[in-house]
Amino acid sequence: MINNTSFAKRALKRLTLFLVLGSTAVALLACSGGSRVRKPAELVAVTNQFDLAPVWSTSVGSSESFNFHPAVAGDSVYAASHRGNLAKIDLLTGKKIWEVSVPDRLSIGPGSDGRTTAVVTTKGTVYAYDDTGKPIWNVSVGSEVLTEPVVAGGVVVIRALDNRFIGLDAQTGVRKWSYQRQQAALSLRVGYGMLAIGNEVIVTGFSGGRFGMIAIANGGLVWETPISFPKGFSEIERLNDVTAKPSMDGDIICAVSYQGRVGCGQARTGNLIWFKDYSSYTGTAQSPDLVFSSNEKSHVTAFAVKDGAQAWENSQLTFRDVGEPMAVGKVVLMGDAQGYVHALSQAKGEMLARIRHDSSPITAAPIAVNGLILIQSQGGKLAAYSPK
């Protein structure tokens, strides 16, 4: 028999937490500061040591307050808006190849392998389109989805907010498998990023400070590793989720948890080489020698991949709410809440360049592909830049 009083209390706690968190972890940070004002740091003067020259730009529609990423497959970019606009764009020219209107609003961007492109509505319905933009199937997963689909190996992988992973046949939408995680008592109401490795596996974080690898073909758990453990007394203090997409370079994979730790380990086994106390909800980016992350204050830190020794920390972007980082060449790129894109030296952390993409937040990581840097803002501007 269910204890209705206990059940109601647990439900009230979860509802209260969701109201505190809002749709992103940023809301939690704002609330936790009490009356303290999180004033963004003034931009320091910088003489650009290189330029990100605009190649093309287009509008795909606003993502509102959600964190939309574009997807790249072959020579095409797939991007979407909160209102349900979905477009296939030529990577080199920015010309829209096709554009469709999804029947409902979206809370995340698309996933695509170039043959099947999938989006999920706010009501949990997955819509799939072929390479001409023709709708081929739709199916409900019965839960809200805040994580971009992964389309790989003939499977559309959906991660639902109720901790289910669902594998759908990319051509028919028929369910091939389902993997259910235990629902944590409290967890962040955000998208948990999934990193696809080839057509075989995905790596993703879980609540409770853990991350793991899941087989795309059958949904089997390959390995699971704790990177941190809950600490503190209150339920909010004990929140300890690996929400951001892990990063990978070579055979080393790194991840970071909110109110927990950052660490790196072997991709094949998940065994950690090192970890240290750190907190981030924007994730990690890697070079062969360093892993980069920013904390809730937007202080950007570099750690040595081999042993976790801190290489440098840059605090010039304090409270500018920087987004997900990307490491490319000799720089680390990340956007901020005012639409600026900052380039930091991987070696020393100094500011090397800055551009203004637009005036809306840039929360999604830039994408480096075919010599171009792709950036999508929450305002809907998608642009390609060429490093000069």
At 96-105, the pLDDT tens digits run 999 999 999 9
Amino acid in position 78: Y
What per-residue confidence (pLDDT) applies to 182?
A: 77
What per-residue confidence (pLDDT) applies to 214?
A: 97
d(CA 197, CA 202): 6
Q: Give φ, ψ of 342 to 5 degrees.
A: -110, 140
What per-residue confidence (pLDDT) applies to 37?
A: 72
First to last CA, the chain: 67
d(CA 146, CA 23): 9
What per-residue confidence (pLDDT) applies to 335?
A: 98
d(CA 388, CA 82): 33
The candidate with the shortest Cα–Cα distance to 106, out of 172, 61, 142, 173, is 61
Question: Which residues of the chain are under the pLDDT cut of 70?
Answer: 1-36, 183-190, 232-239
What per-residue confidence (pLDDT) applies to 22?
A: 38
- Whether the CB-CB separation of 361 and 323 falls below 8 Å is answered with yes
- Whether the CB-CB separation of 101 and 85 falls below 8 Å is answered with yes
Helix (H/G/I), strand (E/B), else coil: 15: helix
Q: Which residues contact 201 (CB under 8 A, 6 or more apart)?
A: 213, 214, 215, 216, 222
Number of neighbouring beta carbons within 10 Å of residue 248? 17
d(CA 158, CA 299): 32
What per-residue confidence (pLDDT) applies to 31?
A: 40
What per-residue confidence (pLDDT) applies to 195?
A: 95
The candidate with the shortest Cα–Cα distance to 173, out of 121, 133, 118, 224, is 118
Q: Which residues contact 241 (CB under 8 A, 6 or more apart)?
A: 184, 187, 188, 192, 205, 206, 207, 208, 209, 257, 258
What per-residue confidence (pLDDT) applies to 12?
A: 34
Structural domains of the chain, with CATH: 1-38 (no CATH), 68-190 (2.130.10.10)
What per-residue confidence (pLDDT) applies to 189?
A: 62
pTM above 0.85, yes or no: yes
Amino acid in position 257: S
Which strand ranges, in their side-by-side order, compose the sheet holding 71-73?
A: 71-73, 76-80, 85-90, 96-101
What per-residue confidence (pLDDT) applies to 2?
A: 37
- Identify the residue whose tokens are 């109110």: 259
- Whether the CB-CB separation of 55 and 385 falls below 8 Å is answered with yes
What per-residue confidence (pLDDT) applies to 366?
A: 97
